[in-house]
């Protein structure tokens, strides 16, 4: 393992301290466990929006605390769910009397602990609701969509939730539009190399230098196909084919596209993916209303990329393009 760290056991806490030191106008460490990252002060008279999950995916999850995004986020160890306590602390921080929405990736630990945190919040007379993000088409077929992992589509869903809350919508309305975003986003990725969790000290999985794996999850979960590395246009075509097979675009249908780097892939290569993805999606009749290219949901130093497509309606597009600001994304 070759990393710029001190000790593995202090890795997460020291990174959080660095984020607060670099961006004190946005991030503050809070909670009894020191594993909640939140805005400097809660925003009054709006629905709170929080999330939480394992570390190692920056900006997901905690990086998206900011204006028009998350109010607070619970932070776990690398690739490990936070426990219930920082989740409850996040809900308590964000609550301003109008309820709190929890945007949750579809992972067993995250769901279970947010279930408990929401139950505990109800005992404090805080209404806390959940929207589950399950956008990875490689993880399960359409008939078992509830089993899909939450991956980079979380970025779009969080933006929708934060914007809806910032506009003063009720909790019911924020939940409804956020759920609609979650229902209409699809993602798939390709991994070219493994990554190393500091506490483990060795690669999460093995893959040959001349191999790739289509559909691998952001923690190294198995994909749908491993094979020899191919030209980027062919790889992009395979991923676009999977996305369109799962949810086709209609002629003139407006979409948002995220070409996401997993941590170690140069931005130049992500632009190659976008070039081909744009051509394929437009040839299928789609209108790309917004696009993002960069590292928006990483997996430590894994090499590879993912493509996310959010199918838009008028309200979703308005919320997606509404102002937002955090150190990793400004709209």
Domain extents for the chain? 8-183, 185-320
Residue with tokens 């996305």: 243
Q: Which helix (H) or strand (E) holds 189?
A: strand 185-191
Give 256's strand partners: 290, 310
Q: What is residue 205's predicted lDDT score, i.e. its pLDDT?
A: 94
- Topology, domain 185-320: Hypothetical Protein Tm841; Chain: A;domain 3 (3.30.1180)
Asked whether this chain's domains 8-183 and 185-320 adopt the same fold, the reply is no
**pTM of structure:** 0.97
Q: Which residue has the tokens 């394992």?
A: 54
> Residue 254's CB: how many other CB atoms inside 10 A?
18
Residues in the chain where the model's pLDDT stays below 70: none
Where in the sequence numbering do the catalytic residues fall?
57, 219
Burial (CB count within 10 angstroms: exposed 0-12, middle 13-18, buried 19+), residue 209: exposed
- In eight-state DSSP terms, residue 120 is H
The size of the chain, in residues, is 331
pLDDT in tens, 92-122: 999 999 999 999 999 999 999 999 999 999 9
H or E element, residue 14:
helix 11-22
In CATH, which superfamily holds the domain spanning 8-183? Dihydroxyacetone kinase; domain 1 (3.40.50.10440)
Spatial separation of the C-alpha atoms in residues 206 and 222, rounded to whole Å = 11
Question: Are 192 and 229 spatial neighbours (Cβ–Cβ below 8 Å)?
Answer: yes
Summarize pLDDT for 232-284 with one digit per residue, the tens.
999 999 999 999 999 999 999 999 999 999 999 999 999 999 999 999 999 99
């Amino acid at each position: 393992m070759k990393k710029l760290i001190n000790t593995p056991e202090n890795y997460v806490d020291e990174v959080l301290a660095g984020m607060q030191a670099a961006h004190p106008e946005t991030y503050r460490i809070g909670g009894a466990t020191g594993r909640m990252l939140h805005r400097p002060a809660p925003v009054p008279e709006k629905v709170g929006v929080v999330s939480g999950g394992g570390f190692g995916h920056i900006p997901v999850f905690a990086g998206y605390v900011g204006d028009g995004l998350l109010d607070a986020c619970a932070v776990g160890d690398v690739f490990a769910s936070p426990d219930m306590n920082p989740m409850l602390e996040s809900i308590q921080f964000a609550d301003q009397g109008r309820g709190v929405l929890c945007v949750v990736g579809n992972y067993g630990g995250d769901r279970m602990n947010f279930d408990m945190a929401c139950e505990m919040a109800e005992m404090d007379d805080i209404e806390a609701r959940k929207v589950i993000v399950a956008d990875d088409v490689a993880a399960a077929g359409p008939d078992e969509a509830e089993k899909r992992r939450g991956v980079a589509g979380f970025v779009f869903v969080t933006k929708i939730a934060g914007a809806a809350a910032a506009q003063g919508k009720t909790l019911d309305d924020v939940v409804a539009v956020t759920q609609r975003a979650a229902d209409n986003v699809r993602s798939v990725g390709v991994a070219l190399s493994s990554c190393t969790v500091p506490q483990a000290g060795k690669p999460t999985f093995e893959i040959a230098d001349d191999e790739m794996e289509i559909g691998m999850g952001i923690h190294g979960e198995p994909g749908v196909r491993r094979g020899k590395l191919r030209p980027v246009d062919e790889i992009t075509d395979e991923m676009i084919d999977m996305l369109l097979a799962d949810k086709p675009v209609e002629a003139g249908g407006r979409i948002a596209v995220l070409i996401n780097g997993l941590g170690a892939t140069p931005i130049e290569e992500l632009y190659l993916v976008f070039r081909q993805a744009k051509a394929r999606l437009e040839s299928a009749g789609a209108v790309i209303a917004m696009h993002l290219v960069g590292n928006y949901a990483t997996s430590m130093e894994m090499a590879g990329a993912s493509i996310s497509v959010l199918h838009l309606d008028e309200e979703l597009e308005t919320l997606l393009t509404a102002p937002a600001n955090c150190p990793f994304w400004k709209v």
